Amino acid sequence: MRDVAIIGIGETQIGELWDKSLRELGIEAGLKAIRDAGVSGEEVDMLYVGNMSAGKLINQEHVAPMIADYAGLDDIPAVRIESGGASGGMALAEGYISVASGFDDIVVVGGAEKMTDVNDEEAKKILSSTADQEWETVCGATFDSLHAMMARYHMNKYGTTKDQFAEVIVKNHSNASNNPNAQYPRAIPKNFVMNAPMVSDPLGMFDCAPLSDGGAAVVLCPAEYVDNYNGDPVKILGVGHGADHIALHDRREIGGMKATRIAAEKAFKNSNISSKDIDFAEVHDNYSISEIVAIEDLGFFKKGEGGPATEEGRTALNSEISINTSGGLKAKGQPVGAVGINQAIEAAIQLRGDAGDRQVEDARYGLTHNVGGTGASAVVHILERWSE
């Protein structure tokens, strides 16, 4: 297997982008990444696109060839990857495998979602379809209520509090205030979070990530080729996949995600490092409880300590481990199919030393964690600062 580097990155603004279509978002991100890498379109061997549900959101299937076509890459094989909220991360994993195996040399991996072309109720219904349709959502369970059950379980078993959930949100909005591409680039006070309208007890409005439009892309190549291109490289050190039952009622316990633990174990094994070596992580915080569960399952804190650790400031920028320096899904935004690529771009920016006021000092190792559904799938990537 060959070592793999990210040599180009590109992303759009994230938000309610009424004036841009899915194809425009994908093209904008992809062309930015290609220009950043200094790669010509003729050199690209393969395109992978992460997308959750273009068929339902914009009535467009076959989206990968469509984006390739309109980007001027119409002769390039293009494949869409769907894994719910983990679609982008899984697409990146496929691109990594393609280059590492020697099957392709230059691979563009993108992610895009256009969620605001339908109303919020419809978009939430579509997002909820990544849970178990037959045994959960058809019976009235929503994505919000399923995560609320996870939150209540964690509170009852480990003593986690709503104050600790609120600290996740305050931290992530603070980080997003230094991210020009974030949907909500502003800090918010804790009392706003605590007094927000209830969505599904115990989760309030600020505990839930927004519905977003956006696109993101990276260019991958073998590590031995990086000197041929302009991009500032970052090494993908390891990748891990994990899976679990799609329905909460089939899982052994819902205070954590087995898929995350499996994915992390594989990624750390493939990288020959441990959780203690990680300087920062972009974790899947579609809900405040999701971040607390993630930092425990990834091995940064013991089970039940995620809430107190957050409250004590141990996950703040340049503390024990910097979590969601981009603002996370909660504040940077949640264009579902692009999330895993957005996470990799933030990791690359940090490892390049280009993050400005949200820069993690002396960052060497970063981790990204992307989840599908309520935890039926997960993918973890570990990235390393480039060294000659």
What's the whole-number mean pLDDT along residues 223-252?
95
| Residue 387 confidence (pLDDT) | 83
Give the single-character DSSP code of 250: G
| Residue 309 confidence (pLDDT) | 98
CATH T-level assignment (fold) for domain 127-210+239-385: Peroxisomal Thiolase; Chain A, domain 1 (3.40.47)
| Residue 138 confidence (pLDDT) | 86
What percent of the chain shows pLDDT beyond 90? 93
| Residue 52 confidence (pLDDT) | 96
Distances (CA, A) of 311 to 159, 161, 169, 306, 307: 13, 10, 11, 9, 6
- Residue 176 reports pLDDT greater than 70: yes
pLDDT band at 12 (very low <50, low <70, confident <90, very high): very high
- Residue 245 reports pLDDT greater than 80: yes
- Residue 347 reports pLDDT greater than 90: yes
| Residue 385 confidence (pLDDT) | 96
- What confidence tens digit (pLDDT) does each residue in 121-154 have? 899 999 999 999 999 988 889 999 999 999 999 9
Q: CA–CA separation, 190 vs 169, rounded Å? A: 8
| 383 CA to centre of own chain | 14
- What confidence tens digit (pLDDT) does each residue in 38-57 have? 999 899 999 999 999 999 99
Q: Per-residue DSSP letters for 300-329?
A: SS-TT-HHHHHHTTTTSTTSSSEE-TT-HH
- Residue 388 reports pLDDT greater than 80: no
| Residue 37 confidence (pLDDT) | 96
pLDDT band at 231 (very low <50, low <70, confident <90, very high): confident
- Say whether domain 4-119+211-234 belongs to CATH 3.20.20.70: no
Q: CA–CA separation, 170 vs 193, rounded Å? A: 8
What's the whole-number mean pLDDT along residues 182-187?
97
What's the whole-number mean pLDDT along residues 163-190?
97
- What confidence tens digit (pLDDT) does each residue in 47-94 have? 999 999 999 999 999 999 999 998 888 889 999 999 999 999 999 999
- Element (DSSP H or E) covering residue 152: helix 143-158
| Residue 71 confidence (pLDDT) | 87
What's the whole-number mean pLDDT along residues 149-167?
98
- Residue 324 reports pLDDT greater than 80: yes
Distances (CA, A) of 170 to 26, 98, 186, 327: 30, 39, 10, 10
| 312 CA to centre of own chain | 25
What percent of the chain shows pLDDT beyond 70? 100
Q: CA–CA separation, 292 vs 331, rounded Å? A: 16
- Domain 4-119+211-234 and domain 127-210+239-385 have a common topology: yes
Average pLDDT value over all residues in the chain:
96
- Element (DSSP H or E) covering residue 65: helix 63-70
Q: CA–CA separation, 250 vs 374, rounded Å? A: 12
Return the domain boundaries, the chain: 4-119+211-234, 127-210+239-385
